[in-house]
Amino acid sequence: MNLLNKANLDNSFLNQIRYQLESVEIHNSNLARLLCKIIPSNCPFERTVTVFGRTLLRIPPLCKLNPLYEQIVGLRFKCLLYLVNECGEDARKYC
């Protein structure tokens, strides 16, 4: 298999996963709560290293490097909408 066919196969596989994540519908409050707890509301890898009150270095958020980041955040948003609109819960406890 040449390199171009392998790249197309990998891209096709990622597109299938993206489609599956985008097409998930939430109808279970327990699943929605679990996903809201598992999927972080902000990128957990962003850091600012300070020494004696001076910023030494800033590590940018690495989540954007994840090819499925937008779909995962979208899934968390769907869960939050379900919990607020259907279950009447307060979304602030998941932020």
pLDDT at 5: 57
Q: What is the pLDDT along the chain (95 residues), one digit of tens a residue?
A: 555 555 555 678 889 999 999 999 999 999 999 999 999 988 877 888 999 999 999 888 888 788 899 999 999 999 999 999 999 999 888 88
Whether the model clears a pTM of 0.95, i.e. scores above it, the answer is no
Q: How far apart are CA 37 and CA 6, in angstroms?
A: 36
Alpha helices per DSSP H over the chain: 3-22, 29-38, 69-85
Give, in order, the Cα–Cα distances in Å from 53 to each of 61, 66, 88: 21, 32, 43
CB within 8 A of 64, min separation 6: which ones?
Answer: 43
* Residues with Cβ within 8 Å of residue 36, at least 6 apart in sequence: 76, 79, 80, 83, 94
How many whole angstroms separate alpha carbon 77 and alpha carbon 39? 10
Q: What is the pLDDT of residue 83?
A: 96
